[in-house]
């Protein structure tokens, strides 16, 4: 039987590069960030011996189970503190950054401006720049391809937590590309290393990557849901229902 050729993730490249160069790491991630064998990234990093001391969690919580716009509380996972960045705080505080060499950012975005994960990643990168901590961004596929761009950016006076950085509704970026864009346009003082994917093409949809999918939030159970999300999410600005909560 012919072996399937799959996309190699940025987190795999980071783990392959590990040779003891960091002594204290945090991770921005959730349980949707998995390796091709299905292991959660946080567990794989610990098994590989990386010194992970703290996890930053985005909207929807570390388990990706909490509905949108609901604040998430801090928690503990084994011996690691889990710091929510979607609740009373939207970015790390000094005590969360002062003991770190670097922050690993490995989170599955869905290719749409309204999704908050890129903004959380930007907040973490800004804090990395503020505190002299390196940002290690692990690239993942844009599930609705990294070529198609649709819609226009929000005017500066209307920028908000689901519309900023000049992103259109369908932005056509991977998270690694967004990180480079963020550094170039907003924080040139950021120490950034991007671990790029390989065997990935800009026209690829998620199914073309041969990677397993784990829903990054409660209402995006499949990659096909991510494809309709940039359009259907516009209905949230009306009194019509787009079916959120029915998955």
pLDDT tens-digit profile of 43-96? Answer: 999 999 999 999 999 987 777 666 676 666 767 776 789 999 998 899 999 999
Strand partners, 77: 80
Name the 3-class secondary structure at 158.
helix
What was the pLDDT predicted at 244? 64
For the record, the structure tokens of 73 come out as 């509380």
Nearest CA among 201, 163, 179 for reference residue 126: 179
CA 118 – CA 108 distance, rounded (Å): 9
Please tell me the distance from the alpha carbon of residue 189 to that of residue 14, in angstroms, as a whole number: 22
Residue 63: DSSP 8-state: T
- Counting beta carbons within 10 angstroms of the beta carbon of residue 230, is it exposed (0 to 12), middle (13 to 18) or buried (19 or more)? buried
Nearest residue to 93 (alpha-carbon basis) of 66, 74, 117: 74
pLDDT 10s digit of each residue in the chain, 247 long?
345 689 999 999 999 999 999 999 999 999 999 999 999 999 999 999 999 999 999 987 777 666 676 666 767 776 789 999 998 899 999 999 999 999 999 999 999 999 999 999 999 999 999 999 999 999 999 999 999 999 999 888 998 888 899 999 999 999 999 999 999 999 999 999 999 999 999 999 999 999 999 999 988 999 999 999 888 888 777 777 766 666 6
The ranges assigned to domains in the chain are 10-237
Q: What is the CATH number assigned to the segment(s) 10-237?
A: 3.40.50.12170
DSSP result, 227-242: HHHHHHGGGGGTTS--
pLDDT tens readout for residues 31-41: 999 999 999 99
């Amino acid at each position: 039987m012919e072996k399937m050729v799959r996309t190699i993730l940025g987190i795999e490249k980071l783990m392959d590069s590990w040779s003891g160069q960091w002594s204290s790491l945090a991770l921005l991630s959730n349980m949707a960030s998995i390796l091709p064998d299905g292991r959660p990234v946080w567990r794989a990093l610990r098994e590989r011996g990386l010194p992970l001391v703290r996890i930053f969690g985005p909207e929807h919580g570390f388990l990706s189970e909490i509905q949108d716009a609901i604040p998430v509380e801090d928690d503990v996972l084994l011996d690691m503190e889990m710091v929510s960045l979607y609740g009373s705080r939207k970015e790390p505080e000094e005590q969360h950054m002062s003991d770190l060499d670097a922050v690993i950012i490995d989170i599955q975005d869905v290719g749409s401006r309204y999704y908050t994960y890129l903004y959380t990643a930007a907040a973490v990168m800004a804090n990395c720049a503020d505190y002299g901590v390196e940002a290690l961004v692990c690239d993942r596929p844009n599930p609705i391809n990294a070529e198609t761009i649709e819609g226009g950016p929000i005017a500066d006076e209307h920028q908000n937590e689901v519309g900023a950085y000049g992103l259109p509704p369908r932005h056509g970026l991977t998270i690694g590309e967004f990180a480079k864009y963020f550094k170039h346009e907003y924080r040139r003082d950021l120490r950034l290393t991007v671990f790029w994917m390989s065997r990935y093409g800009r026209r690829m949809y998620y199914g073309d990557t041969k990677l397993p999918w784990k829903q990054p939030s409660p209402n995006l159970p499949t990659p096909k849901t991510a494809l309709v999300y940039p359009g259907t999410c516009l209905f949230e600005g009306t009194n019509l229902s787009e079916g959120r909560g029915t998955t």
